[in-house]
Structure 1
Amino acid sequence: MKANRPKKGPLAIRKTLPSRRWFGFARSTIGRFVGLAFLCQFLVTGGVLLFVQQASQRTVVAADRQAVEDARDDLLALHRSGGTAALRAEIARRFRAIEGERAVLLLTDAAGRPISGNLGAWPAGLRADGRWQIMSLYRTGRDAPEPMGVIPVKLGDGGQLLTGMVVSNSLQLTRIYEEALTVAFVMSLVLALGIAIMLGRILARQVSDIAATANDVAVGALDRRVPTDGSGDAFDRLGQSINAMLERIDALVTQLRMMTDGLAHDLKSPVTRLISVVEQASAQTRDDTALDALEKVHHEAQTLRSMLTTALLISRTEAGFGGDRRRDTQVAELLRDVEEIYGPLVEDSGFALAVSAPDALVFPLHRELVSQSLANLVENALYYAEGGDRIELSAAIENGDLLIAVADNGPGIPAESRPAALRRFGRLDPARGRPGSGLGLSLEEAVARLHHGGVALADNGPGLKVLLTLRRS
């Protein structure tokens, strides 16, 4: 139906539609809520686990450091009381007592030569500044370096003392903590994402119920109401407020429809009687002037009766009457019936009527109302398409919807005037000098809404194209 539209293959659809859905979800309020909830959970969980990891690591390291500091203090006290000889003997004694344990000790003289300990030499570049440091060193009799936490200090006689401890077990325990906390962090992220999505779905379901009700009301189902659970929360109060508003709208629209329907129905009888009286008077009079006047009255009375009939039909269609009479219909056959009925009139008016629709096209619709709509559109084209010579009726399925188009190649309607043409009793002739009621397109719109669709006016280049979109639900 839509000209010059590039066709997309299945592969292009698969590539574009998911990304568009995700992009639309990311821009939606629900998407932003899910993202914010996940971010908050991420920051809180990440902060807590990071604190636990740092605290556990500090605790393990602090225990080793405290043990090394205690050993250093004992040895320094012994050196002050007994000198280097006593310190050397204490170091030897400790190694005999704790052989194979994690202790690291080294005593050197003022020239840096080792006196006692389990390190072969003083570590290069290590200053005896009393600071705790962790480095990899070789113990005597070991083939591989080991991570050690050491405290190097300078003695009063110029010698140096290195007190330390192998911290490989502590570092391994720290790595185990880190791995466990990393796994816990990943699991918490998955759980946080799941909770955020679940909350988003709950909110989306609440909003979707309101949106679905609004959509149903928009197509004429004024009896629909937003589901409420009586919980008294914000969504429940919103639903109750919307339902109260819909009750009021339903009452006002019902009164208006009853008034319109009653007025149109009550006026049809006197207008019909007026037409009958005029016809009888025309048959009885022989005065040409009187006959001309009666003919004008007869024409205006028929116009009035047609307006009342159309107004009554619009009112009943907008009220939903006939919605249960939609049946699967051969659309091509329906268009050919319109062509057969209006073909002679179209030819007499100097137009050619062309029909284009797939023979296998079947769609559920109210056949009589759609036929009346197409008939009105053909009559409008005959009346307003001055200078044109072609009227086209076409139908096609697009995205599951039925699109019926009635197009002509006349002067068309300017884009800025098309909204006025769709209004009820809308007339593009400000002086209303030309006959017409302004109800034709209103009927089309009412019929389209009965089929959950709408009416649009487009440029036919040249001319006007009226598009009826009919949906299954």
Structure 2
Amino acid sequence: MRIWHSTTFRFAALVFLFQIVAAAVLLLGPALLLRSQSHADAVEVAETLRDDLLDAYADGGQPALSHAIEARVSRRVERASVLLLAGADGKRLSGNLDRLPSDLTPGAAYALEKLSRSGHALPEAMLVQSTRLPDGSMLVTGTVVETERQVLALLERTSMIALGLSVVFAAFAAYVSTRLILNRLGASVATLRDVREGRLSRRVPADDTGDAFALLGSEVNQALDRVAALNAELKLATDALAHDLKSPLTRMRAALDRAAQHVDDPLAQPFVDQALTESERLMAIVETALTITRAEAGMGRESLADADLSELLETVAEIYSPLVEDQGRAIIVHAPAALHMRVHRQLLDQALGNLVDNTLKYGTGTITLSLIPEINGAAISVADEGPGIPPERREQALRRFSRLDEARGGWGAGLGLSLVQAVAHLHGGTIELQDAAPGLAVRIRLIEPPTPS
């Protein structure tokens, strides 16, 4: 599962996004508003200055305009004013600009320029506009905005630094929020994991906060109580079924044995023998089905005990060696010198026996029993060199009472691999059907259970 598809990741991303948007609005918004207001104020001051000068020009022509310009330039209260009167030839007549800016278009909106004023060593930022007078001369008016721009630039840099810190804080807030959620869910997840591994008595710790997580924990506990009750009922039912079925089957087998001893008609003897065989098969099917049901329900975990898996494989190989040799085949074991693990020895023996029986019935070539240590347990593999099972039919092979009749004959009931799968489940593991190239490899993963306290 990709993490960015998880609800937890989306929640963290949402918290992060909202905090970044809020920080950007609060930090950059005022700076943009101040910049806009500063520009509007500067333009208003410059337009007022221009209108006053144009009134002076209208009253007394160019001499009056030059006098008004010089008067304003000399006033200390209007230190930010930018003024220039240039003749039709572009020559400076009066004002505090050294020259007429070449890129100003008469009548255009106020433009931001970097120009030098008389008596100032460095160029300054200023908003200026040019106006062409009736006599062809040019009037440039404006106001210096260098200080405002420096303040705004400092404010913007400060805002960007604050926004960068906001990113860090937002990421931290998103992380803390998700950790709080995961911690609140941790008890429920841990309880369900323990129950899955067979510790059916585990429950979510009581939580009196009354929030959604407390409600979830309460519902989980109630569901587990119901599962425990159903599991107890299942155990009683299976025990009763085993008793009710095995007793009449045993009596039937005994009756058939006695009948076989008193059959005098040679023609009847084959039918009695067949009835005995079928009764044995029926008892085996019932016993296997009950074992699968118990294993899938987790019954038997209390019987887990320490065992040497390497020695277990050697014992299985030794038991089946005569049957394998009768077929002209070999059985070998690949396992470390010793690998101890808590397992249900009887059921694991039965599962491995089923797998070896399958290789004898349907496989060919050498039978290989392998034991591979893993970080949290071990894997046992039983492989042959036969035709195997096509990948598209392996899921069907694991179903209870499912038989691949087209490819395989025999008297099986379709419970062998189902039993192996149930035993793997009892040990917290899984079963995998793999291609042995050639042949089939059945791999049983066993998870090391926690040591009982």
Which of residues 443, 451, 455 in structure 1 aligns to 2:419?
Answer: 443
- Which shows bigger deviation, 220-229 or 449-458? 220-229
Taking a change above 3 Å as real, the CA distance of residues 310 and 91 of structure 1, as seen in their structure-2 partners, is: same
SS of the aligned residue for 2:128 comes to strand
Aligned to 1:409: 385
Tell me if structure 1 keeps the 8 A contact 2:104–2:129: no
**CA–CA distance in 2 between the matches of 1:407 and 1:158?**
104
Normalising by structure 2, we get a TM-score of: 0.82
**CA–CA distance in 2 between the matches of 1:252 and 1:424?**
22
**CA–CA distance in 1 between the matches of 2:385 and 2:89?**
110
The code of the aligned residue for 1:365 comes to V
Aligned to 1:81: 59
- Which shows bigger deviation, 146-155 or 204-213? 204-213
1:367 matched to 2:345? The reply is yes
**CA–CA distance in 2 between the matches of 1:322 and 1:219?**
12
Tell me if structure 2 keeps the 8 A contact 1:60–1:174: no
Aligned to 2:264: 287
The code of the aligned residue for 2:116 comes to Y
SS of the aligned residue for 2:4 comes to helix
The code of the aligned residue for 2:36 comes to R
Q: How many residues align?
A: 447
Tell me if structure 2 keeps the 8 A contact 1:61–1:170: no
Q: By how many angstroms is 1:468 displaced?
A: 1.0
Aligned to 1:175: 153
**CA–CA distance in 2 between the matches of 1:202 and 1:395?**
42
Taking a change above 3 Å as real, the CA distance of residues 81 and 287 of structure 1, as seen in their structure-2 partners, is: same
Query: CA-to-partner distance for each residue in 1:83-110, whole Å, 9 max, x for gaps?
Result: 4444444433434431893332223445
Query: CA-to-partner distance for each residue in 1:162-199, whole Å, 9 max, x for gaps?
Result: 33332211110110121122122222233333334444
Tell me if structure 1 keeps the 8 A contact 2:85–2:93: yes
Aligned to 1:452: 428
- Which shows bigger deviation, 84-93 or 177-186? 84-93
Q: By how many angstroms is 1:296 displaced?
A: 4.2
**CA–CA distance in 2 between the matches of 1:79 and 1:339?**
118
Q: By how many angstroms is 1:274 displaced?
A: 4.0
Q: By how many angstroms is 1:288 displaced?
A: 6.8
Aligned to 1:384: 362
Tell me if structure 1 keeps the 8 A contact 2:72–2:78: no
Q: By how many angstroms is 1:269 displaced?
A: 3.0
Query: CA-to-partner distance for each residue in 1:375-406, whole Å, 9 max, x for gaps?
Result: 22222322333xx2422211113564422111
1:61 matched to 2:39? The reply is yes
**CA–CA distance in 1 between the matches of 2:325 and 2:274?**
26
**CA–CA distance in 2 between the matches of 1:153 and 1:82?**
17
Tell me if structure 2 keeps the 8 A contact 1:265–1:312: no
Aligned to 1:271: 249
Gaps of 5+ in 2: none
The code of the aligned residue for 1:439 comes to L
1:118 matched to 2:92? The reply is no
Query: After the TM superposition, which residues 99-118 of structure 1 pair with which residues of structure 2 at under 5 Å, given as runs?
Result: 101-118=79-96
Taking a change above 3 Å as real, the CA distance of residues 349 and 158 of structure 1, as seen in their structure-2 partners, is: closer
Which of residues 301, 307, 311 in structure 2 aligns to 1:323?
Answer: 301
Tell me if structure 2 keeps the 8 A contact 1:257–1:315: no
Aligned to 2:70: 92
Which of residues 338, 341, 350 in structure 1 aligns to 2:319?
Answer: 341
1:461 matched to 2:398? The reply is no
Q: By how many angstroms is 1:240 displaced?
A: 6.8
Q: By how many angstroms is 1:471 displaced?
A: 1.7
**CA–CA distance in 2 between the matches of 1:291 and 1:187?**
93
Tell me if structure 2 keeps the 8 A contact 1:326–1:364: yes
Query: CA-to-partner distance for each residue in 1:241-285, whole Å, 9 max, x for gaps?
Result: 7777766666556545532331112322343344445555656x4
**CA–CA distance in 2 between the matches of 1:83 and 1:414?**
105
**CA–CA distance in 1 between the matches of 2:389 and 2:315?**
27
**CA–CA distance in 2 between the matches of 1:315 and 1:67?**
92
**CA–CA distance in 1 between the matches of 2:403 and 2:194?**
30
Q: By how many angstroms is 1:371 displaced?
A: 1.6
Tell me if structure 2 keeps the 8 A contact 1:265–1:308: no
Aligned to 1:18: none
The code of the aligned residue for 2:382 comes to V
Aligned to 1:14: none
Gaps of 5+ in 1: 1-20
SS of the aligned residue for 1:409 comes to coil
**CA–CA distance in 2 between the matches of 1:420 and 1:83?**
106
The code of the aligned residue for 1:459 comes to D
- Which shows bigger deviation, 62-71 or 107-116? 107-116
Between the aligned residues of both structures, percent identity stands at: 41
**CA–CA distance in 2 between the matches of 1:80 and 1:465?**
106
1:423 matched to 2:399? The reply is yes
**CA–CA distance in 1 between the matches of 2:214 and 2:397?**
41
Q: By how many angstroms is 1:336 displaced?
A: 0.7
SS of the aligned residue for 1:129 comes to coil
Taking a change above 3 Å as real, the CA distance of residues 257 and 326 of structure 1, as seen in their structure-2 partners, is: closer
